[in-house]
Structure 1
Amino acid sequence: MTTQTTDPRPLYREALAWTAGLIDQVREDQLAASTPCADFDVRTLLGHLVATVERARVIGEGGDPSTIPLVVTDFSDGDYAAAYRSAIERMWPAW
């Protein structure tokens, strides 16, 4: 029996680009709005999305993803899209 593995990186790249496009559309007045996850408002969800990419980078580098918080908060409200794209740029060399 032969097992064929599909490289998930192209799909992940597409998902990251799609998500970045959505983040570009978030207005500052929406940051405190609720999300389907009761623990996250939009601001927290955006910080979590940045954190997931940072965790992917750490995993690719052979590190412990738990060293990255579940929500990254070290940027200002207007910088979510830039922070997300920066995390993506740092993540790809590891993969």
Structure 2
Amino acid sequence: AGGDDPARDLALLKTGSLDLLGEEAARAALFRMARLYPKEVRERLAFYVPLTYLHDLHWFRTKEPQGFPQALEEKLPKALAFFRDFFPRRGAW
């Protein structure tokens, strides 16, 4: 996976825009789009989406520390839930 990995792009779309739809709708939209990509790309989402949330937390900690506690409360559970919930879906694609 390189810098122009579609899994990375999909993860950024999920955490940056699709999450505005709410978690259930965001995941549904992500998985609908991900079906257009090879299995290897879809499998990397299990890591890229949580990594993107963790990167957001690092950004808050270093660039906007006053927003870090709220970001931690919001983003860490999403990262953990996506990682845990993803694996049962692997066979569904």
Q: What's the TM-score once normalised by structure 2's chain length?
A: 0.35
Structure with the largest fraction of helix: 2
Q: What's the TM-score once normalised by structure 1's chain length?
A: 0.34
Highest Rg: 1 or 2? 1
